[in-house]
Amino acid sequence: MNQLFKWVLPLIFAGLTTVAVWAQGDGPYYLSLKQELLYTLGGASTTFLGNYLRTKTPELTRADLELEGINFIDRIATQFSSEQADRLSDKTLVASVGLPLLLLAGQDSRRDFVKISILFGETMLINQGLTDMIKSIALRPRPYVFDENLPPSTILRSNDRASFLSGHTSGSAAASFFFARVFTDYYPDSKLKPYVWGLAFAMPALTGYLRIRGGQHYPTDVVAGYALGASIGYFLPKLHWKDRRQNRMTMMPTGNGFYLNVKL
């Protein structure tokens, strides 16, 4: 997922240079230079901090861990180690991230695709930043390290202790729910909405299942990743609604992550 930022950051900043002078158009979203810079820089700084903390992860050996420390629900994941499932989860993640490209098929969303691309970049940045921060704090060992064939002297490095929460699942959920939310906002009367939302729910669920089968994550890692990504993918577009002042919903980056305030 971190390779994503090789194109996400340039994409966002290229778009932001036009926001101040670009007509907002008739679409459902409104962008402001100040707000988008806050979201972008907040997401990027959280990501970089999370990655930095992960480089400081202290090393452990396999012998330092005990299977008894894993709850009975998650323990099932230690029985799986499918390389095929692991590879397939990479593909379902890429497919999920590509879903917003389908918005090019509609005239209204195609006309606003630069604006949508900026929102999508912010969504993925914020999701990745929070995911990396949580991973760097939790330091949960992945299921595969409990393989009986793994020597007790095996040194566990940063990625071996990045199980909670599932980044593949959170990334897939963020992209999928973003796609469904934006599609719904542009085409509220479309008969395709049930299929779009069905796809949005299914893609991260499949990705999470494959991560468990691949021995990369526990069920609770996947559930947490799904919840995080889906929340960000769903709510970030709503925060940019033109009538958001009436909804009085705000989200701002803070030193510990992001602050969400909803006034009913």
- pLDDT (tens, 9 = 90+) of the chain, 264 residues, equals 555 554 555 555 555 555 544 546 678 998 888 888 888 888 888 888 988 888 888 888 888 888 778 999 999 999 998 999 999 999 999 999 999 999 999 999 999 988 898 899 999 999 999 999 999 999 999 999 988 888 888 888 888 999 999 999 999 999 999 999 999 999 999 999 999 999 999 999 999 999 999 999 999 999 999 999 999 999 999 999 987 645 555 565 665 566 666 554
* Cβ atoms 172, 93 nearer than 8 A: yes
Q: Which amino acid is residue 148, in one-letter code?
A: E
Q: Report domain extents, the chain.
A: 2-262
Q: Which amino acid is residue 12, in one-letter code?
A: I
Place of tokens 């008969």: 191
